Amino acid sequence: MNNCIEFPKGTSFLVTGGAGFIGSNIVEKILYLGHKVKVLDNFSTGKRENIAEFLKKSNFELIEGDIRDINTCRTACKDVDYVIHQAAWGSVPRSIEMPVLYDDINVKGHLNMMQAARENNVKKFVYASSSAVYGDDPILPKQEGSEGKVISPYALTKRINEEYADLYYRLYGLETVGLRYFNVFGKRQDPNGAYAAVIPKFVKELLGGIQPVIYGDGETSRDFIFIDNVVEANLKACIATSEASGKAFNIGYGQKTSLNDLYKKLSELLEKIDISPRYEKEREGDIKHSTASIEKAKEILKYNPQYSVNEGLELTIDWYKNNL
């Protein structure tokens, strides 16, 4: 990973959702850099094993609590320089089943965290948005400022998060930076459950000799981005100039990969080319194609993804082979 990200000695971070897939990887990097980290997590989707190795470190603190409780958020933001807000519920299909819960967690929780950060004079509030905000806009690559109509409650919660973050910057001066994640993958991503992401699911099933399911004809494409690139983006957002504040940026690799091509690559890497996928009908709320333009993030955040998709897949497979 690019090692030019530096913070003054004694810098402290709060990572919400720090026991989750992305959050725990961010925490690991901050601890590696020698800084203090607090994690706020209620373990509704995060896993204790993701942070087990950090618990014994003197510069790590766990706060078990819910972002829907404003007082918990205020306590967590005390004596913190940077908030990296990852706590949310993901999954487009699940949000279609549970729109009210998604609004409660993803919108109210986000607002609580920004308010707590503002009251505690946090230097920067960096938060997870999503490529889902592009909705039905057909233009590729996806470019900030060209958003269509959202097609899921999850996407709407992320769109609202961005609007609130922009408002909090303009109204109260809280320096907010949104990161529109495309399809993040890497170590600690959960392969289990009906809403698991495609890469860990494919890997687990192929390793187990199970025939994976591809929804649609397999020509659906995504911009897959390795977790270490996403960690870099979060830390660079923390030290970005005020030009970044109030804005949201695409965080992808800038490369299109179809599900068929992804499947072929994974089956080759796992030496499971004899297992063919099973095709089923497309899922409601899924976008057909998604590729990021990352020029704005490169220019303003100095984002520079170090790992290609193939490099990331190889590292990810190594991790799953040792941890599944």
The H or E element containing residue 15 is strand 12-16
Catalytic choice (102, 127, 134, 154):
154
Q: Considering the chain, what is the average pLDDT of its residues?
A: 95
- Tens digit of each residue's pLDDT (9 = 90 or more) over 128-181: 999 999 999 999 999 999 999 999 999 999 999 999 999 999 999 999 999 999
Residue 4 has pLDDT above 70, yes or no: no
Residue 246 has pLDDT above 70, yes or no: yes
**Exposed / middle / buried, residue 310 (Cβ in 10 Å: 0-12, 13-18, 19+):** middle
The H or E element containing residue 319 is helix 309-323
**Closest C-alpha to 185, from 66, 14, 319:** 319
Active site residue 307: no
- CATH numeric code, 12-185+227-254+293-306: 3.40.50.720
What residue has token string 């993804």?
305
- Tens digit of each residue's pLDDT (9 = 90 or more) over 54-81: 999 999 999 999 999 999 999 999 999 9
Q: Break the chain into its structural domains and give their ranges.
A: 12-185+227-254+293-306
Residue 64 forms beta bridges with which residues? Answer: 41
Label residue 24 by pLDDT band (50, 70, 90).
very high
Say what the pLDDT of residue 2 is.
44
Say what the pLDDT of residue 1 is.
43
CB 17 within 8 A of CB 41: yes
**Exposed / middle / buried, residue 242 (Cβ in 10 Å: 0-12, 13-18, 19+):** exposed
CA distances from 261 to 217, 220, 266, 289 (A): 12, 10, 9, 14
